[in-house]
Amino acid sequence: MFRRNAAALLCLLLCAGAAPARFVFAQAAAPLLIAEEGTDTPVAVEPVTRARDPFPVTQAPAFSADARTRVMLFAQNVQLLPGETVDALAATAEDAAHNVYPLTVERADPLPGFEWMSAVVVRLSDRMSDSTGEVLVAVTLRGLASNRVRFRVGTQQPDLGAGASLNGKRLFPADNAWNQDVSNEPVDPNSANLIASMGPGASLHPDFGTVWNGAPNGIPYVVVSGAQATVPITFTAYGDESDPGPYPVPADAPIEGGPSGTGDRHVIVIDRDSWKLYELYRAFPSGAGWNAESGAVYDLNSNALRPAGWTSADAAGLPIFPGLVRYDEVFGRGEIAHALRFTASRTRRAYVSPARHFASSNTDPNLPPMGMRVRLKASFDISGYSPATQVILRALKRYGMILADNGSSWYVSGAPDPRWDDTELNTLKSLKGSDFEVVKMGTVVTQ
């Protein structure tokens, strides 16, 4: 349910000064929900991630701990009379199928310095779910109904198919390591030696794009629905460290390197309805199912790691898909809100969380362990790069990239898409290893 998955909302207090001109505040006897000018989009705290500008987040209200989703709307003409309680306010939501949901009004607080405006907190109905979609919301006070404003309950479903857009749906919980903002984390004390081992003068290399050697360039994926038939998976090498099948892998699922590829041949499937991720390494169609050297299944609503010492479809025991640069994020969202995946030619016989597996016999402490995270230095000037490339560079500064496999050093992974501009992506090669630093690591596991 949507209400179980969303975080508690933060309270907004208006900054001092006049309200921006793009918002219209008109006095009326009936309650007035404040919307962006010319739209029915409310000025509100969004129900999952962040507040709409220009209101700064300054403190958290004392919401109850039941993990249900609240939405904070801003309204005029909802001041309560002496002796009235918040029960005098009612709220409803109507979805596209004309189902009407009663909402619980929990608070109606004047904003300091803006007493003519109130923050109205409504709790969503238990009958709502991720699939509810857009709703029209109104409040009523003393028999007078407000205008209606529109917002979405739940995220838009990911599209279906190979390379499909996830429409902004986040992989794993907000506090997952892949989604961690590390821009202010300390630098590892051994950063200089670790960077030196990977080549400070070596170029960053976008290991994705349109086509390379006759095959889509990158690690492909396919999004399926819950109706996708599951098929048997036969593991040919690391079955004791693989999650057993069946997996919902289509017969025509895209394979890294193409059907005739001789490399890692990763196959990645996202079930958008169960919100699970299925990944295979060295995958080959076989009869009604697939053969693969290893495989892993991830619940995308969970922070659960693989058992310590287990591989996955990646050498580090990590999922691959969350670390890919994807076209839908760069151009559809204009933001990558997660760490990226990269490789190094020499690694240590060690790993650090969130990795669970090493793939080396070398114990040199100056070699990078699997799971090590690097970030682009804050001082690196990205202003001369294209807007799309800046999306990637901002992610490298904020979330960094996680070492996930042995391979060419400084190769960053992404999904293929015929819409990429390879020339534009190649401007990333101007970055060098010395432009990065290692984020301070936690416990390094060597056994």
Q: What's the confidence (pLDDT) of residue 128? A: 86
User: Contact 84/141 with Cβ under 8 angstroms?
Assistant: no
CA 409 to centroid of chain Cα atoms: 25
How far apart are alpha carbons 17 and 312 in whole angstroms? 54
Q: What's the confidence (pLDDT) of residue 152? A: 79
Per-residue pLDDT for 4 more than 70?
no
Per-residue pLDDT for 346 more than 80?
yes
How far apart are alpha carbons 280 and 297 in whole angstroms? 9
Return the higher-pLDDT residue of 445 and 21: 445
pLDDT band at 133 (very low <50, low <70, confident <90, very high): confident
Per-residue pLDDT for 29 more than 60?
yes
**Chain mean pLDDT for the chain:** 88
pTM for this entry: 0.72
Segment 382-397, tens digit of pLDDT: 999 999 999 999 999 9
User: Contact 266/320 with Cβ under 8 angstroms?
Assistant: yes
Q: What's the confidence (pLDDT) of residue 411? A: 98
Cα 183–Cα 433–Cα 376 angle in degrees, nearest 5: 15
Tokens describing residue 431: 């970055």
Nearest to 16 by CA among 64, 63, 58: 58
Tokens describing residue 211: 């086509």
pLDDT band at 166 (very low <50, low <70, confident <90, very high): very high
The residues pairing with 247 across neighbouring beta strands, listed in sequence order, are 231
Q: What's the confidence (pLDDT) of residue 66? A: 67
Q: What's the confidence (pLDDT) of residue 22? A: 38
How far apart are alpha carbons 66 and 280 in whole angstroms? 38
The mean pLDDT value for 237-264 works out to: 97
